[in-house]
């Protein structure tokens, strides 16, 4: 019997996969047999990741750089993946932006717009680009990396949290639309993870203490600890799961108090 988590023969695009959570997801998918497309804005960083993956699994990774702020570059990412690998079975929308840290009253229109465009609209673009072939095959998995921030309030990353809450609803709506075609759409909602993206949070001792003091595991997460949820959602282990948000946060949203 094949493993429920076997991704052999699958092709997965992972945005923002040159570092952090995206890199960990791409590496894990390759470990489980998938061919992965490494994509972010900087080609050199993508090449480094692909070389590391191909050293372990020859031919498992290719590079197609793209900025999530450019619809044309995202279309190229999808087209080039199809040209080189023939199909797209899994899409992981991981890349995101947060150019502002502070109260909502201080955010500029351009900053707010960038957050919404990169964290929500770009995901919508990518889904619309890959969904038709998945629908035609009646098979496919779309994973949006959201955040527990979409479930909570914040005095410093409020706009980011708004965008991540929108991602939850985007997944639910798309799950309803694509479900009759057996194409699944889900979110992963990480807690605070030790990435460069979240460095402003976990490097601040006060923030770190506030996050971990009421977290059952009493620590923040590591990028590889998000990858398992992505493997589950991409594989046959989750064929009856759609429209959901899998929280991976060490228990921080359980509301543990004194």
The domain limits of the chain are 11-192+222-249
Determine the pLDDT at residue 255.
76
DSSP structure class, residue 181: G
- pLDDT of 2 above 70: no
- CA-to-CA distance for 65 and 110, rounded, in angstroms? 24
Which positions are annotated as active-site residues?
160
Longest dimension (CA), the chain: 57
- pLDDT of 26 above 80: yes
- Tell me the average pLDDT of the chain: 94
Determine the pLDDT at residue 1.
47
DSSP structure class, residue 53: H
Contact 175, 186 (CB under 8 A): yes
- pLDDT bin (cut points 50, 70, 90) of residue 44 is very high
The predicted-structure confidence for 97-127, as pLDDT tens digits, reads as follows 999 999 999 999 999 999 999 999 999 999 9
- pLDDT of 256 above 80: no
- The two three-digit tokens of residue 81, written as one number: 């993946």
- pLDDT of 232 above 90: yes
CA 177 to chain centre: 20
- pLDDT of 13 above 80: yes
How much is the CA Rg of the chain, to the nearest whole Å? Answer: 18
- CA-to-CA distance for 234 and 90, rounded, in angstroms? 6
Determine the pLDDT at residue 257.
61
- What would the mean pLDDT of 36-58 be, rounded to a whole number? 98
Helix (H, G, I), strand (E, B) or coil at 89: coil
Q: Which helix (H) or strand (E) holds 63?
A: strand 61-63
- CA-to-CA distance for 75 and 126, rounded, in angstroms? 8
- pLDDT bin (cut points 50, 70, 90) of residue 189 is very high
CA 185 to chain centre: 12
Of the chain, the percentage scoring pLDDT greater than 90 comes to 86
- CA-to-CA distance for 189 and 151, rounded, in angstroms? 9
209 compared with 53, residue with greater pLDDT: 53
- In degrees, rounded to 5, the angle at the alpha carbon of residue 17 between the alpha carbons of residues 13 and 21 is 115
- What would the mean pLDDT of 15-20 be, rounded to a whole number? 96
Q: What is the CATH T-level fold of the domain 11-192+222-249, as seen in this structure? A: Rossmann fold (3.40.50)
Beta bridge partners of 37: 13, 62
- CA-to-CA distance for 257 and 191, rounded, in angstroms? 17
The predicted-structure confidence for 128-166, as pLDDT tens digits, reads as follows 999 999 999 999 999 999 999 999 999 999 999 999 999
């Amino acid at each position: 019997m094949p493993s429920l988590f076997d991704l052999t023969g699958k092709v997965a695009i992972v945005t923002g996969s040159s570092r952090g959570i995206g890199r960990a997801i791409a590496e894990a998918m390759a470990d489980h047999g998938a061919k992965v497309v490494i994509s972010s804005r900087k080609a050199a960083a993508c090449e480094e990741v692909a070389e590391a993956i191909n050293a372990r699994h020859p031919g498992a990774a290719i590079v197609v750089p793209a900025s999530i702020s450019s619809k044309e570059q995202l279309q190229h990412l999808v087209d080039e993946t199809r040209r080189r690998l023939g199909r797209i079975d899994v899409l992981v929308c991981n890349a995101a932006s947060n150019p502002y840290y502070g109260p909502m009253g201080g955010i500029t229109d351009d900053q707010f717009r960038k957050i919404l465009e990169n964290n929500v609209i770009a995901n919508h673009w990518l889904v619309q680009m890959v969904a038709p072939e998945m629908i035609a095959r009646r098979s496919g998995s779309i994973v949006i990396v959201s955040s527990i921030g979409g479930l909570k309030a914040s005095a410093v990353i409020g706009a980011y949290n708004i965008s991540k809450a929108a991602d939850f609803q985007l997944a639910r709506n798309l799950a309803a639309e694509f479900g009759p075609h057996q194409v699944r759409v889900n979110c992963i909602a990480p807690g605070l993870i030790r990435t460069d993206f979240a460095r402003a949070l976990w490097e601040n001792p006060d923030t770190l203490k506030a996050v971990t003091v009421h977290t059952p595991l009493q620590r923040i997460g590591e990028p590889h600890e998000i990858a398992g949820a992505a493997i589950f959602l991409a594989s046959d282990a989750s064929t009856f799961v759609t429209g959901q948000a899998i929280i991976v946060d060490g228990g921080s949203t359980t509301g543990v108090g004194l």
